[in-house]
Chains A and B, each alone.
Chain A
Amino acid sequence: MRLAPLAAVVLLSVAACAPSSTSSSALSPSQSQDKVTLSVWGWGPEENFDKMFAAYEKLNPGIDVDARSFTTATEYDTILATGLAGDSGPDLAWLRAGPKLQPLVEAGRLLPLEAADIPGLKDYDEGVLRSAKGDKDGKVYGVPFAVQTLQVIYNKKIFADHGISPPRTWADMIAAAEKLKAKEIIPFAFGGKDDWMLPIVAGVFGTANWGGDAFLDEVRAKTKKFTDPAFVEGIDQLNKLRPYFPDDMTGVSYTDAQILFSSGKAAMFPGGLWELNFFTENAEGIELGVFTPPAPKGGQGLMPGFTDGSYGVSAKTKYKAEALKFAAWLASKDYGQLYTDTLRVFSAVPGVTPTDPLLKEVSTTFDQQGATYFMNEFAYGNPSSQTVFSKALQEMLLGRITAQQAAERLDQSVATWL
């Protein structure tokens, strides 16, 4: 009997620990003075969001856009999946492109976007929009925000000091690399330890070999395979360029490679356009240039690119009309311009020209020599074909397998889901 009050205390304290419905609703957007708060989740620096969305708040005094950024990129997917499943999720969110978008689509967490609500969508390039579509239903689930391109970034001063200009032929590029190597400058800062970089660099140097979109379409249609000689030759370029990568490259991490370039020990960095931001901040005083490696068999090279992500609208949003109106603005040129100028990457909005001269240059090249980055299109499956191929390329660079065998691994992995 004497235990009863004690037991009640224990039970009460347990009940207090349990999540209550009142506390979670307090977290969701509140309507104060008839102002609607739209919450937006994404990755990357939060101040960038605040800067961009302030423009929208000015245009729409009744709307308050509350941006929340999660810097840890890999955890973001889990955080978002949980958020959208519960009641405390965002109204809009940055979505991954392609394969990683599908789990959210199939769980019905996102609103399909119609051109009636978001007029800007109809102007988008089909290739850009595809990465924001559900694979099964073909509906659009996001407003694409960024396009990333892959190329070689170079240090203009080192090039000038050694009388090198951006190569017009493959032979020029090799000659330049030889020249730099003789002067004990690492030609290409490229680490093979973090294997996610490997397909990217294979894309930079190899896309011209297999010829971009036409080849990928044939693989998708199963009329060609990744074991095609053109593809094998393309990834084999990494083996041929091996002497111009850092010593012990399989032990060199991605960060090491970035530092090699930003400290001026290496002259070129093959990688994504997103590196510009890092190098501008960390390689002060280094003037940056970009070029696309010429085709090994002569002629212009191809610049691979991909859509980086999109803005989706939660199926659970309480302010559907407001969220869609905001999404429509995100598909507008106004936002596109703001995005490219704030973040210094390409906006996915069609017809936006970057103000930054370097970006402008890349943009012109991409318009003329653009191609689809192969890996993002073929990253499905579990284990993902991207993981399988990254590892295969690493083994290739370690000399354990040939380019042909690496291509076979990719082919086998793709065959499990295509």
Chain B
Amino acid sequence: MALSTTRRGSSYLFLIPAFLLYSVFVIYPLFTGLSYSVFTWKGTLRDTFAGFANYAALLTESFLDQLLPALGHNFLLFAGTMLVQNTLGLAFALALSRARRGKRLLQTMFALPYLVNPLVIGYLWTLLLSPTFGPVNALLSGAGMDGLAMPWLGDPATALPTVIVIMTWQWVGFPMLLFSAALGGIPQEYAEAARTDGAGSSQVFWRITLPLLRPAMGTITILSFIGSMNTFALVYALGGSNGAPAGATDVLGLLFYRAAFASGDVNAMGTSSSLAVLMFTFIFGSTLLLQRVLRRKA
């Protein structure tokens, strides 16, 4: 008994450094952000208590005109991530689980872009897709597909889908690794037993493999949701702080950046903090909700 209490005591002690770091860098900024949002600011100088005035400013027409489309784009990114990136991730994981050779190598290769900073990736892709000097359009028209050689990032109709493709290119390794791990945890016997009972490969996949991947899918869904709602660096590198072209790639993160750093508004600190608090509350609430729904299903 005595031994175990000391053990527990010392284990708390070892938690202290991590907890302190967490408090200083996560909890403290969260609460200061909250407190900043209820004050009026003069530059970096706190002025008077504002109550909900900063929040009310976010709901004026000039702000809503930007806020709602931005939020819509965040959701489209989430949908795109789920449909394209995560489906592809699953496909890669399945294909690799059957691969006899080079599994490790391919896994590493698919996951590699995920280790590169999104700003670098965004910059590389703007160069690749440039309609004047970019190799992508040169290749397309060289292959006789002139119709496809277009300003991918310069046309509002194609800009967001292009962002989704680039995001997929960067992140596909992540769902792939998670699905691979989950696939490795499914005992071979299930599939063998089903086959003995006369099930075809597609039946095995839909009836056995997929249901058993549900926990992994839940995790991936939630992480994709948070990732798409918080996205900033890649869209910033691809379309600048205004979400070019014509706001087609504008997201909440960019709106926050503009409100905080690009406006010259004397009260920028108050306005942007209230936006940040709203974003946090929304993402946190939606994630909890999502988690509950997914857990109930599983």
Do the beta carbons of A382 and B17 come within 8 Å of each other? no
| A382 CA to B257 CA, complexed, in Å | 12
| A99 CA to B66 CA, complexed, in Å | 21
Do the beta carbons of A74 and B262 come within 8 Å of each other? yes
Which of A177-185, A344-352, A388-396 faces chain B?
Answer: A388-396
Q: What distance in Å separates the Cβ of A166 from its nearest Cβ neighbour in chain B?
A: 26
Do the beta carbons of B132 and A260 come within 8 Å of each other? yes
Q: What distance in Å separates the Cβ of B33 from its nearest Cβ neighbour in chain A?
A: 16
Q: List 25 A-B contacts (CB under 8 A).
A: A81-B43, A98-B264, A102-B264, A106-B45, A106-B266, A193-B153, A193-B154, A195-B240, A246-B131, A250-B154, A251-B130, A251-B131, A251-B152, A252-B130, A252-B131, A253-B130, A256-B130, A259-B132, A379-B264, A381-B265, A382-B57, A384-B265, A394-B245, A395-B246, A416-B62
Q: Contacts A14-B20, A395-B246 hold; do A7 and B13 have CB atoms under 8 A apart?
A: yes
* Binary contact track B233-262/A, C-beta < 8 Å → 1, others 0: 000000111101111000000000011011
Q: Determine whether A248 belongs to the interface, using a CB cutoff of 8 Å to chain B.
A: yes
Within 8 Å by CB of B62, from A74, A78, A253, A383, lies A383
Q: Determine whether A225 belongs to the interface, using a CB cutoff of 8 Å to chain B.
A: no
Q: What distance in Å separates the Cβ of B136 from its nearest Cβ neighbour in chain A?
A: 11
Q: What distance in Å separates the Cβ of A212 from its nearest Cβ neighbour in chain B?
A: 23
Q: What residues of chain B lie closer than 8 Å to A416, measured between beta carbons? A: 60, 62
Q: Which size class do A's interface residues fall under?
A: 35 or more
Q: Determine whether B198 belongs to the interface, using a CB cutoff of 8 Å to chain A.
A: no
Q: What distance in Å separates the Cβ of A385 from its nearest Cβ neighbour in chain B?
A: 9
Q: Determine whether A194 belongs to the interface, using a CB cutoff of 8 Å to chain B.
A: yes
Q: Contacts A250-B154, A251-B131 hold; do A387 and B262 have CB atoms under 8 A apart?
A: yes
Interface residues of A (CB under 8 A from B): 2-3, 6-7, 10, 13-14, 74, 77-78, 81-82, 84-85, 96, 98-109, 192-196, 246-253, 256, 259-260, 379-384, 387-388, 390-391, 394-395, 398, 400, 412-413, 416
Within 8 Å by CB of A387, from B130, B153, B258, lies B258
Do the beta carbons of A193 and B62 come within 8 Å of each other? no
* Binary contact track B251-282/A, C-beta < 8 Å → 1, others 0: 00000001101111111100100000000000
Do the beta carbons of B62 and A412 come within 8 Å of each other? yes
Do the beta carbons of A391 and B154 come within 8 Å of each other? no
Do the beta carbons of B154 and A251 come within 8 Å of each other? yes
Do the beta carbons of A3 and B262 come within 8 Å of each other? no
Describe A's contact surface by its main secondary structure. Answer: helix
| A253 CA to B264 CA, complexed, in Å | 25
Interface residues of B (CB under 8 A from A): 6, 9-10, 13, 16-17, 20, 42-45, 57, 60, 62-63, 66, 126, 129-133, 150-156, 239-242, 244-247, 258-259, 261-268, 271
Q: What residues of chain A lie closer than 8 Å to B271, measured between beta carbons? A: 382
Q: What residues of chain B lie closer than 8 Å to A109, measured between beta carbons? A: 43-45
| A85 CA to B242 CA, complexed, in Å | 28
Q: What distance in Å separates the Cβ of B13 from its nearest Cβ neighbour in chain A?
A: 6
Q: What residues of chain A lie closer than 8 Å to B156, measured between beta carbons? A: 398, 400
Most B CB within 10 A of own CB, among A101, A247, A398, A400: A398
Q: What residues of chain B lie closer than 8 Å to A10, measured between beta carbons? A: 13, 16-17
Q: What residues of chain A lie closer than 8 Å to B126, measured between beta carbons? A: 253
Do the beta carbons of A3 and B9 come within 8 Å of each other? yes
Q: Contacts A14-B20, A193-B245, A387-B258 hold; do A100 and B264 have CB atoms under 8 A apart?
A: yes
**In this complex, what residue of A is CB-closest to B126?**
A253
Q: What distance in Å separates the Cβ of A89 from its nearest Cβ neighbour in chain B?
A: 11
Q: Contacts A195-B240, A382-B267 hold; do A252 and B154 have CB atoms under 8 A apart?
A: yes
Do the beta carbons of A256 and B245 come within 8 Å of each other? no
Q: What residues of chain A lie closer than 8 Å to B151, measured between beta carbons? A: 193, 248, 250-252
Q: What distance in Å separates the Cβ of A35 from its nearest Cβ neighbour in chain B?
A: 31
| A98 CA to B263 CA, complexed, in Å | 12
| A10 CA to B246 CA, complexed, in Å | 53
| A103 CA to B269 CA, complexed, in Å | 10
